[in-house]
Every structure is written in C-alpha cells, then in structure tokens.
Amino acid sequence: MAFVERVFSGVQPTGNLHLGNYLGAIVNFVKLQQTHNCLYCVVDMHALTQPVSVWGGPLELARNTREVTAAFIASGIDPKKHIVFNQSQVSGHAELAWIFNCVARVGWLNRMTQFKEKAGKDRENASVGLYDYPVLMAADILLYRATHVPVGEDQKQHLELSRDIAQKFNNDFGDSIRSHGFNSGLFFPQPEPLITGPATRVMSLRDGTKKMSKSDSSDNSRINLTDDADTIAQKIRKAKTDPEPLPSEEKGLETRPEADNLVGIFAALSGRTKSEVLGEFGGGQFSNFKNSLVELCVAKLSPIASEMKRLVADPRHVDSILVDGADRAREIAADTMKATQDIVGFVRKH
C-alpha cells in the first residue's frame, strides 16, 4: 500500500541548541518543506527522561521549548504552511506510546546504544522514561503515519526500532487491520530515516571522536545557535586541530577526525562537498581555513541568532504558534488514534 508521504521530526528542548542540531536536522527540515507536508515538534516529553539537573526544571523547560520553536522559525520553517507544535499538547503521543510499549520487546530496547551512553555506569538509577525513549519516539512519528524522518546519524538506530514496531503492529493486528477497511493489512508505514548532507554527525570542537552535544560540560565543544560573532570566532580558533596542513583530497581526512569535522562543517554551511572545500583550502594552513570558517559561520548563524532573540522576547506570540500547530496536529492524531483503538479492540464512543 502506498502511504501519503509525510515528514515528522523533533528536537528536545534541553537547552544549548547547537550547530550539530542545525546541520544534522534543522537545515533538512527547512528543505523538506518544498516537497512534503511536514510536522516539526518540540519534544518536551522526551526532555523529562533525563535528570531534572539536565533539563533545568519547569521554567527552563518552558524557556527552552520557546527557544527551539524560535530556532525552527528563524531557520526558515513556515508554521503556517507546515505544523510546528510541542509534543505534550497532543495527548495521542502518550496514548500511542502505551500501545507500542506492549508491541516493542525488551530485547529490542536492550540493544539501544543511546540508552547505554546516556544512562552511563549508573544504569539502575536511570529513569524508566530514558529506557523507553525510543518507543515514545516511534509513537511521535507513527501518530501522524509519517513516512520520512529527517534526523542526524545518532538517531538511526531509534528509527530502525520505529520500523520494527510498525511492522510488528501490522503483523500482530493484521486481520483486525483488514477488517477495519485497510485491505493491504498495513496500518502503519515503515518510516524512512533521511540522513543527508555532509554533516550528519557534527563532532565536538574539542575532540573529533565525540559527537557535538548539548550536554557536554565544555561550552567550547560546541557552537550554540545563540552564540554571538566573537564567541563563534573564539571557539573556532580554539578548536582542536593537528599540525599537518589540510589535505588536498577527501581520503586524506580519514585518520584526521578534527580536520574532517571542520571541513564537513564548512561544506555543509556553504552548500558544497568536502572535496570542493579541499580543492580551495587543501595544502594550506589551518589558520587561514579557520578564518574563512569563522566568517562563514558568523554570516550563516548571526541572522538566525538575532531572529531567535527577537522571537523569544515575545513568548505570547511563540506560544500562539505552538497552540495553533497543536490544534492542527491533534486533528491528524485523532484519526490515527481512533483507527488504532478500533484495530486493537478498545471500546470507544463512535
């Protein structure tokens, strides 16, 4: 069965939105608006899976929810043509997650590497929510029967789990799905990850083997979307490199993670390939390259930072965008939930 193509993706409001979130995800959100109907969600329920000290408590959560919304809009997402909302306003996310909890297998979740990384050594003390995070993520996507999900490389495994959940639900309830008019026996699509561009995994500026991350204790490890020009310049100039000049060909980056990362950032921000960037800068010193990277980063990110600042200064306007988006998201979600309840056998008002 051909499903109507629809895009869904989300970003957690856990503060310190960075260049990795922007290049790995948000830039692709913007592009997909041209070809698809899109839903972009601030996944505030996911933020709660981490300790309160990480997401900062209620005031910070609300502030960060508005900040992610502002980043979406400042980057070029149109909340009138597409749907921008925060997850907790649509109760279907939690309702579908429960059904999916009963479809997903413990063995599947035990294989999730992000849980292992985020829970660290003290796994017994991690929240049940953190363990269950990928099931809620499957519900986020499938509540809208979305077919395409733009994400960074780190979310690939979670997307595979969403596909497994969709497939198992379709198998477990195949007869019921057919008897409710879905003749193909497929109710949920298997969502495809869209992991595209030269910066699907932006690395820390301090260590090219570690992902750039909101939760890194060193602010110098990342470029935040709210950093001003001086801070961006300082962070890039201090970014770890090696003593060799830049290579002229891409294969020369293979054993040089920090160089590879900076060239990838340059390529993504300038809309070029890494080879093209090396064609211009290969053989030269890092200092020249870094100066050009600073200029490029400031030129691309400063307008976003100032638009974000303008938007967050008017929280009522941002909230009205989220309320309007949630109203429209709820309509799509209601259709999925009603059909899912019928398929599962939950009695409801018709």
Judged by the rule CB under 6 A, the positions of this chain that interact with ligand AQP are: 11-12, 14, 20-21, 24-25, 151-152, 154-155, 200-202, 211-215
- Of the two residues 186 and 268, which places its CB atom closer to ligand AQP in the complex? 268
Tell the residue number behind the tokens 């979600």, with chain if given.
333
Is 80 marked active-site?
no
- Of the two residues 194 and 321, which places its CB atom closer to ligand AQP in the complex? 194
Rounded to a whole number of angstroms, the minimum distance from the CB of residue 56 to ligand AQP is 12
Is 214 marked active-site?
yes
Rounded to a whole number of angstroms, the minimum distance from the CB of residue 196 to ligand AQP is 11
CA distance 26 to 340: 30
The dihedral built from the CA positions of residue 309, 19, 29 and 64, taken in this order, carries a sign that is negative
**Residues forming beta bridges with residue 42, ordered by sequence position:** 11, 86
Is 300 marked active-site?
no
- Of the two residues 200 and 336, which places its CB atom closer to ligand AQP in the complex? 200
CA distance 126 to 131: 8
Among the listed residues 80, 156, 168, 214, the single catalytic one is 214
- Of the two residues 85 and 169, which places its CB atom closer to ligand AQP in the complex? 85
Residue 287, CA atoms < 13 Å, CB-side half-sphere: 1
CA distance 29 to 74: 12
Among the listed residues 118, 235, 274, 290, the single catalytic one is 118
CA distance 205 to 222: 6
Among the listed residues 31, 156, 168, 211, the single catalytic one is 211
Rounded to a whole number of angstroms, the minimum distance from the CB of residue 296 to ligand AQP is 18
Nearest to 119 by CA among 111, 110, 127, 109: 127
Query: How far is the CA of 248 from the CAs of 45, 240, 244, in angstroms?
Result: 46, 20, 12
CA distance 86 to 92: 12
Active site residues: 118, 211, 214
